[in-house]
């Protein structure tokens, strides 16, 4: 509207719209009308974009310093192994023989946090979560010692014949999340993985620092992590439930709490992709 008024005034000043001035040809009148409409649409588009395009504030420190726990220097590694379907039982048996030895070895500064098979989600998949107490130096120490471990070398060779693919990520834990400590079962576990839009990790952390308090009633929160190496801007939230119905009831109960809906509303636009896995722990898993 403002654009049209300005156009009318400028034309009137030039004699184009004054009563005494000459009338514009129909073709010129249509062109001016199109210009006004185009300018107006551009203004409207700019206004709409200001509503939906989120601006990322510049940060002066690394995500790891702003979001990770200060009282520990633990580093986590999550492994995803896609197993040949005919070898899944043999793979599980092999892991249950070897992994506890690494977990229990006092000279290895690492601990097995949990190990699972995916029940719903990507099938014939194993997920392992390790903690390295001492950060990157501890990881390097463990890797060097395992290279000298003949049993582990044979384990890797035999395991490799059973796999279709594998990948891993190095993670830090969010400062505001629960510590992933051993728990008794039986439980099922849900690993919810979020691929965030680059530049949104701090924003995600700010919202979830408040949101996590809504998800403590049934002791369902196990751990929350964000990636440092591997697929970047990845977040993993690990939850425990008695069964699928308990999961449904617990998640629905959060929506009855004032403020949960608002936090979901603001975090959803930060996500590019998300995935949910329902997992069953192996017998050797500290998280049962």
Query: Which CATH number covers residue 164?
Result: 3.30.70.100
Whether residue 65 is contained in a domain is answered as no
Are 124 and 29 in a shared domain?
no
Peptide bond into 186 cis (omega under 30): yes
Pairwise pLDDT comparison (183 vs 35), residue with the higher score:
183
Domain count, the chain: 2
Helix H or strand E segment including 81 = strand 74-83
Whether residue 41 is contained in a domain is answered as yes
CB proximity list for 242: less than 8 A, separation 6 or greater: 186, 187, 188
Question: pTM for the whole thing?
Answer: 0.78
DSSP letter, residue 23:
P
Whether residue 203 is contained in a domain is answered as yes
23: domain range?
Answer: 2-52
Q: Are 216 and 224 in contact (CB under 8 A)?
A: no
CB proximity list for 236: less than 8 A, separation 6 or greater: 78, 171, 191, 192, 193, 194, 224, 225, 226, 227
pLDDT, tens only, 82-129: 999 999 999 999 999 999 999 999 999 999 999 999 999 999 999 999
DSSP 3-state percent helix, strand, coil across the chain (nearest 5): 45, 30, 30
Whether residue 63 is contained in a domain is answered as no
CB proximity list for 252: less than 8 A, separation 6 or greater: none
**Cα–Cα distance list, 196 to 139, 208, 263, 270 (Å):** 26, 13, 16, 6
Are 33 and 111 in a shared domain?
no
The pair of structure tokens assigned to 94 is 């092999």
Whether residue 92 is contained in a domain is answered as yes
Q: Judge whether residue 239 has pLDDT over 80.
A: yes
């Amino acid at each position: 509207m403002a654009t049209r008024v300005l156009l009318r005034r400028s034309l009137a000043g030039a004699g184009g719209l004054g009563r005494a001035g000459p009338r514009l040809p129909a073709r010129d009148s249509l062109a001016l009308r199109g210009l006004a409409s185009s300018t107006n649409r551009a203004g409207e588009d700019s206004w709409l974009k200001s509503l939906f395009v989120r601006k990322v504030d510049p940060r002066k420190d690394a995500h790891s310093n702003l979001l990770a726990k200060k009282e520990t220097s633990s580093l986590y590694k999550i492994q995803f192994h896609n197993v040949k379907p005919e070898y899944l039982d043999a793979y599980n048996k092999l892991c249950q023989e070897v992994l506890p030895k690494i977990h229990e070895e006092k000279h290895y500064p690492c601990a097995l946090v949990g190990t699972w098979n995916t029940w719903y989600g990507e099938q014939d998949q194993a997920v392992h979560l390790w903690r390295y107490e001492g950060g990157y130096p501890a990881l390097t120490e463990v890797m060097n010692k395992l290279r000298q471990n003949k049993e582990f070398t044979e384990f890797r060779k035999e395991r490799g014949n059973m796999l279709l693919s594998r990948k891993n990520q190095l993670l830090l834990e969010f400062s505001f999340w629960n510590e992933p400590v051993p728990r008794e079962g039986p439980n099922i576990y849900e690993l919810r993985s979020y691929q965030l839009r680059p530049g949104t990790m701090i924003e995600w952390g700010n919202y979830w620092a408040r949101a996590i308090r809504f998800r403590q009633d049934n002791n369902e929160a196990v751990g929350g992590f964000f990636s440092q190496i591997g697929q970047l801007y990845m977040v993993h939230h690990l939850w425990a439930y008695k069964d699928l119905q308990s999961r449904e009831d617990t998640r629905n109960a959060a929506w009855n709490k004032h403020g949960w809906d608002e936090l979901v509303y603001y975090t959803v636009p930060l996500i590019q992709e998300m995935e949910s896995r329902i997992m069953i722990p192996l017998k050797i898993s500290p998280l049962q």
